[in-house]
Every structure is written in C-alpha cells, then in structure tokens.
Amino acid sequence: MPIDDATRERIIQIARDHFFRLGFSKVTMSEIATELGMSKKTLYEYFPSKEELLSEVINAVQNDVSSKIDTIIADESLDFVEKLRLLFSHGAEFHSRFSKHFFIDIQKNAPQIWKCCDSFRMERMRKNVEKLVREGVKKGYFRKDVNEHVVVMMHTLSVQNLMTPEVLAELPVTMNQLFETIVKVIFEGILTEKARALQMEKVLPSQKEKELVS
C-alpha cells in the first residue's frame, strides 16, 4: 500500500494526543486505529510497532520546538531581553508537553526511546545555552567575571540530573515548574545591574503563556 503523507501525519497527531493524555503503556494500537477509523492492519503498514510510532511522535515535537528556538536565536532584530523571554517560553513549552508521568512511563516501558529523547534534549539545550550566554555577555546583560563554560555546564547538569523521571516522581512540581526554577536560580546569578534594572524576572513565561502551553 502506498504511504500517504497526510494520513501519516494524522496518525502521529492522534497518537500524540493519546500518549500524552493517557501514557504510552496504557494506549494500544487498536485504540489508535479505532480513533483514526482504520484497521489495525493499515496502521501497522504505516508504523510496524507502537514503539516506532512513539519515536515519531517525540521526533515531531522535538523538531517543532527546535525549529522555533533556532529561529529566535538567529533573529538579530530581536532585543536580547525579548529573545531571552521567548527562548525560556519555548523551553517551558517543550517541557510542558511532556508530563512527568509520561517521562516515567517511557523510561520504564520504552527505555531506548527515552535514552534518545534525553540525549537530544541535552545536546540541543547545551548548544542553545552556549549561544545565549555568549550573546548575553557580549551585550552586557550577563556578568563577564563568571566563566561562561561553567554556567553552561551548571545549567546542563541541573536539567540532566533534576529533570529525570526518578527525581520528578519525588517532587511535588510539574516539569514546567522545575524548568523555570532552574532557569531562575542559574540565570539570575549572572545578571548585570543593567539586566536587573530591566526586571528580568519578566523574562520567564507569564501566567497566560503557561496556561497556553499546559
């Protein structure tokens, strides 16, 4: 059977809604096929396994958010404070799409996919923070007496070690809330007086933005 791109995208969309709402392990291919109005046999012709479908769902989300972040970082017309606000907003958006229960689920029931997802997340985040810190120092928003490489490593390791299924299971916070706390603690420590005068706490997503991405 020829593969139709529109049908493939629709399958990914429906699967994403089911996985994120109910969890990977609790959703069956039969349920997804029924929602799509197709036979399970047809569904398997597009995606041979539920794990492969999950992988495509996560790739779609990662590519979407990464594309937005790359566009923001490359936009030289943006004021640095606005760029910072938008980047943190999209970072929060990414993490809000994955509930902590979903992360725990895929680590336990699809460990290889979790490993790929986590590696992608950390590598992309490290590169983005490097660019952000470099630009912030150059434009006078971040202190020059703080080692840039240490700041990048602190941020990367904080996310890597705190935003894990094991830690999230113990903390009474959402992934979004934990991400914001990490950002606030690390980046406020390297702000210059110039940046503080601009009330940089407003850089974090507003309540309205949080509601839109939750």
Residuewise pLDDT in 10s, the chain (214 residues): 556 889 999 999 999 999 988 889 999 999 999 999 999 999 999 999 999 999 999 999 888 888 888 898 888 888 887 887 787 777 777 667 666 778 788 888 999 998 888 888 788 878 888 888 888 898 888 888 989 889 888 888 888 788 777 787 788 887 778 878 888 888 878 878 877 776 555 555 544 444 444 4
Q: Alpha helix locations (H) across the chain?
A: 5-22, 29-36, 40-46, 50-74, 80-97, 100-109, 111-138, 148-162, 165-170, 175-188, 193-197, 207-213
pLDDT at 2: 59
Instruction: State the CB neighbour count (10 A cutoff) for residue 206.
Output: 11
And the tokens for 36?
A: 């799509």
* pLDDT for the residue numbered 208: 43
Determine the Cα–Cα distance for residues 123 and 4; give it in Å rounded to an integer: 32
Note the residue count of the chain. Answer: 214
